[in-house]
Structure 1
Amino acid sequence: MAEFNTHILVCGGTGCKASQSDLLKANLNARIAEHGLQDQVQVLHTGCFGFCEKGPIVKIQPDNTFYVSVEPKDANEIVDEHLVKGRKVERLLYKDPKTKEKVGDSKHMDFYKKQVRIALRNCGFINPENIDEYIGHDGYAALGKCLEIYRPAEVIDLIKKSSLRGRGGGGFPTGLKWEITHNVAGDEKYVVCNADEGDPGAFMDRSILEGDPHTVIEAMAICGYCIGASKGLVYIRAEYPLAIKRLKTALTQAREYGLLGTEILGSDFSFEIEIRYGAGAFVCGEETALIHSMEGKRGEPTFKPPFPSESGYMGKPTNVNNVETFANIPPIINKGPEWFSSIGTEKSKGTKVFALAGKINNVGLIEVPMGTTLREVIYDIGGGIKDGKKFKAVQTGGPSGGCLTTAFLDTPIDYDNLIAAGSMMGSGGMIVMDEDDCMVSIAKFYLEFTLDESCGKCTPCRIGNKRLHEILVKITEGKGNREDIDKLRMLSHVIKDSSLCGLGQTSPNPVLSTLDNFLNEYEAHVDHKSCPAGQCKALMQYVIDEEKCTGCTLCFRNCPVGAISGEKRSPHYIDQKLCIKCGVCFEKCKFDAISIV
């Protein structure tokens, strides 16, 4: 086997692969071969580096050079300059927006400085399709330690002492859930990994499975050992082909190494894992709906109790955790519960992975200690708001969360603080909005998602959310009144109190949080029939300033419906009855003569 002295790590996550990182890798290998360096330099695909805004990413080891926005055509220059001549390609280095200086490695980038990677510890550092690399980073050491040293109850005690809480949204203590399932008698038990990630803008679980699938396999085996289960099931949405491919590869490798199957590592413990596919239903993120889907039934939730720990898959005791929760298990076993619990806040230990998206400069996947403030995430790690715009709100917790204003920027992120602020942690979606976003429209957008994803089983969610949406449509079209605002609030509370599952119980959160924090925007829509952000088309008007208009006819020639009239070199006029508010005139005008009112 060749002894490589240089490794080129190319991001192989879904986002970078969509930006031709496969071709980039091929071009690098071809150029390396031309120079006869194939026995010295190895090019590898890794999982997501997290810095999605600047992908594709290329990292060169051992000097830790970090190249951003690399295109396939840049491969020759990287090989010729960096590998052959020993000179960094300056134009591909990250440019700090504050200092305007080039940064040579990720350790000195603001995006990474405040991050602490536990669940994402191997993503971007190892080849996810090579089990040897995972083993070289303490992989399966935790499983071996559990089977050799600890009894099941002792492992559960370690997880309880770590104070790890479920990362899927509910925040239930993981060790306690394992203990409950362990204590329930059953001739057969199951371990289920919930990889049905459905929040808009969320890609945490997908990235872990793409970049470090073995950590989930190892954790599921540990859970199986603890609760007395011999079978695990990964429920993953079929829209994640790369994650599925790498998970299948990892499962095959684990079986070949004797880390899955019968008598694992010479013990009397046997464990196997199967993959089950979801059709992309958001409601199947709820554990009882997920279980029904795996059983071939409609993905609908049921009343609890009984909880899955007592009666889950096929009526047997079942432990359900999401991908990120499982990814924290091996490090806790290897480094100890005290190490893990030393990170975070009093009631929320460890770190949390967030998918940072929206009107933010550094879109990407981040992992920060619990207790990090929203301000640190948005302005330090996220690099602030795009195009110098003013921050308006951040939506945490996906469609089930709330929109928080500048008043909450110094709120430490943890389960209890976000709930107290009117939002929630959720699975980790975090969408940033700027001054151009209409918060009434934002509430309507999330409710549209809920309507599409509701299973329809219970009346409050099925009908109540439909009525909520109708009122919001009425308001954004300039047909609302003050009574409608009161109806929104009253109906939201009824839906929260009477819906069957978490989807319905949290669906009004975007409405309530925007009512609490942006009531003035609702009042502008109903009282003045205007949208302060200029986003609601029914309330918009494009008007031409006669003093600025030169009569160039550019707007006239581009209007698709003939709503603009006027003579050449004379001020033009927009007929509001004909205008469809497409914005073409606004985009084409070279003299800033057209404005939105």
Structure 2
Amino acid sequence: MTDASTNVPPLTPVLTDNWDADRSWSLESYAGRGGYEALDVAFAMAPGEVIDLVKDAGLRGRGGAGFPTGMKWGFIPQDPDALGGDRPKYLVVNADESEPGTCKDVPLMMASPHTLVEGVILAAYAIRAHHAFIYVRGEVLHVVRRLQHAVTEAYLAGHLGADIHGSGYDLELVVHAGAGAYICGEETALLDSLEGRRGQPRLRPPFPAVAGLYASPTVINNVESIASVPAIVRNGSEWFGSLGTEKSKGFVIYSLSGHVRNPGQYEAPLGITLRELIELAGGVREGHRLKFWTPGGSSTPLLTAEHLDVPLDYESVGAAGSMLGTRALQIFDETVSVVRCVLRWTEFYQHESCGKCTPCREGTWWLVQTLTRIDEGRGEEGDVEKLLDLCDNILGRSFCALGDGATSPITSAIAYFREEFEAGMHTPSRELFPPAASTAYAQEVTA
């Protein structure tokens, strides 16, 4: 199966190309495939030229927002007379992956940590930073250890430390394990945590580009964003721009989970459709049909089977009423109660709210109470309207995007499946959607 418009195969292994190699996480394996060669290419350029290269490539942030990466790097003040221009610069990699359904950064760091390390060196050189940090979720201890080992290998090989490759450029890289809080995926809460404080979002402005880590100019990028840089430096901006769509360029990792025959990571150009990805994954489980799905994790509005052919790029998914987000494609068939699914996600957001702002702290609690009543068949007259009113009072009024993300699946689920919420006025979800079908599926998988 190919994309007839571009003749690009649906799978484009770049970040995942070496995942099947013997000891792919080792420096020996990575270097054998051209690893760290991009450093010499970049060091032959001025830092500003590396930023321009990434801008020309059209790389957009892979952490959810899709903001142009090169533009973000360009915000760092370099003029000593500019605000913050005389302070040290920092690069921080957000590896605190914890969005329900999102599972792309952890396998990337496990399979090929040196791809990330090389990307860190290139990005830090571009913004003229001499200290960089990788902030990893503390629960994934195996990932922390693998990254620390890769960083040690890079130091011993002369890829980190003083006078890297004889270029005169110095860089210190620290792998920092967080204490495990979803809110620390928000960039300013991550900075507070990195500084040793409780992870809570900061008031902006000032923005991190001017006053970030230790009140100094800071770039914060997702793992996949930084890991994409070495391939761009090696192959050029035109090569990268030839993949994807006009406004959403390049390749990304799509994480398929749920009711598909072969869940996993599928690296493909932006613009591929869910129908194509499901075909690559062997289809929805036999005897069942797609009911709803998330394009970018649980904090993005749900989509349904009518959106199977929407190109998975930032613009098209946005036009369909959702967000591409982290490209965590969770697939649910007709045996799943949308009310119960949304309730489980909302319980997560209630638990993970940092409590700093009232709309999120109180609003998520009331959302859980109302959804629980409906799920148990004890819904009251006006509960659906109450849910919509609560979401309206949270959306755009919380301190960070956690509150907004908690409302997205609820409002979209009501828009597409209002009858299920209304049925919860008198019938529990467990009766509308008996667990027998899910149990049979689990037995089928384990067999």
TM-score by length of 2: 0.91
Q: Is 1:415 aligned with 2:314? A: yes
Counterpart of 1:511, as a letter, is I
Report how many aligned residue pairs link the two structures.
Answer: 426
* Deviation of the 1:228 alpha carbon: 1.3
Q: Is 1:127 aligned with 2:23? A: yes
Contact 2:73 2:219 in 1 (8 A): yes
Work out the CA distance in 2 between the residues paired with 1:234 and 1:525.
45
* Deviation of the 1:426 alpha carbon: 1.9
Contact 2:76 2:209 in 1 (8 A): yes
**Structure 1 equivalent of residue 148 of structure 2:** 248
Looking at both structures, which has the greater relative contact order when contacts are Cα pairs under 8 Å and sequence separation is at least 6? Answer: 2
Task: Specify the SS of the correspondent of 1:490.
Answer: helix
**Structure 1 equivalent of residue 173 of structure 2:** 273
Q: Is 1:490 aligned with 2:389? A: yes
Counterpart of 2:117, as a letter, is I
Structure 1 residues 420 and 320: alpha-carbon distance in aligned structure 2, compared to 1, 3 A threshold? same
Counterpart of 2:416, as a letter, is N
Contact 2:289 2:333 in 1 (8 A): yes
2:107 to 207, 212, 216: 207
C-alpha distance after superposition, 1:242-289 (max 9, x if no partner): 222221121111111111000111111100101111122111111001
Contact 1:117 1:368 in 2 (8 A): yes
Contact 2:335 2:433 in 1 (8 A): no
Contact 1:182 1:228 in 2 (8 A): no
Contact 1:352 1:370 in 2 (8 A): yes
2:161 to 243, 261, 267: 261
1:235 to 135, 146, 152: 135
Contact 2:183 2:354 in 1 (8 A): yes
Counterpart of 1:368, as a letter, is A
1:225 to 110, 118, 125: 125
Task: Specify the SS of the correspondent of 1:331.
Answer: helix
Work out the CA distance in 2 between the residues paired with 1:259 and 1:455.
38
Contact 2:337 2:433 in 1 (8 A): no
**Structure 2 equivalent of residue 545 of structure 1:** none
Moved over 3 A (4+): 539-542
- Counting only pairs closer than 5 Å after superposition, residues 308-457 of structure 1 correspond to structure 2 as 308-378=208-278, 380-457=279-356
**Structure 1 equivalent of residue 66 of structure 2:** 171
Counterpart of 1:155, as a letter, is V
Work out the CA distance in 2 between the residues paired with 1:197 and 1:186.
32
Work out the CA distance in 1 between the residues paired with 2:22 and 2:245.
30
Task: Specify the SS of the correspondent of 1:355.
Answer: strand
Contact 1:186 1:317 in 2 (8 A): no
**Structure 2 equivalent of residue 116 of structure 1:** 12
Work out the CA distance in 2 between the residues paired with 1:463 and 1:399.
20
Work out the CA distance in 1 between the residues paired with 2:22 and 2:86.
39
Work out the CA distance in 2 between the residues paired with 1:234 and 1:151.
24
**Structure 2 equivalent of residue 520 of structure 1:** 419
Work out the CA distance in 2 between the residues paired with 1:508 and 1:126.
44
Contact 1:447 1:469 in 2 (8 A): yes
Task: Specify the SS of the correspondent of 2:260.
Answer: coil
2:363 to 460, 464, 472: 464
Q: Is 1:478 aligned with 2:373? A: no
Work out the CA distance in 2 between the residues paired with 1:483 and 1:141.
62
**Structure 1 equivalent of residue 400 of structure 2:** 501
Query: Greater CA deviation, 416-425 or 437-446?
Result: 416-425
Work out the CA distance in 2 between the residues paired with 1:186 and 1:490.
48
Counterpart of 2:73, as a letter, is W
- Counting only pairs closer than 5 Å after superposition, residues 79-118 of structure 1 correspond to structure 2 as 114-118=10-14
Task: Specify the SS of the correspondent of 1:386.
Answer: coil
Work out the CA distance in 2 between the residues paired with 1:368 and 1:541.
34
Contact 2:336 2:433 in 1 (8 A): no
- Consecutive unaligned residues of structure 2, counting only runs of 5 or more, are 1-8, 79-83, 441-447
Query: Greater CA deviation, 365-374 or 477-486?
Result: 477-486
Structure 1 residues 407 and 254: alpha-carbon distance in aligned structure 2, compared to 1, 3 A threshold? same
Contact 1:399 1:449 in 2 (8 A): no
Work out the CA distance in 2 between the residues paired with 1:465 and 1:186.
42
Q: Is 1:194 aligned with 2:89? A: no
Counterpart of 2:28, as a letter, is D
Aligned-residue RMSD, C-alpha: 2.0
C-alpha distance after superposition, 1:502-536 (max 9, x if no partner): 1112210110110111112122223xx235xxxx2
Task: Specify the SS of the correspondent of 1:508.
Answer: helix
Query: Greater CA deviation, 160-169 or 121-130?
Result: 121-130
Work out the CA distance in 2 between the residues paired with 1:457 and 1:444.
22
C-alpha distance after superposition, 1:177-222 (max 9, x if no partner): 1111154513311111111000223221111111111111111111
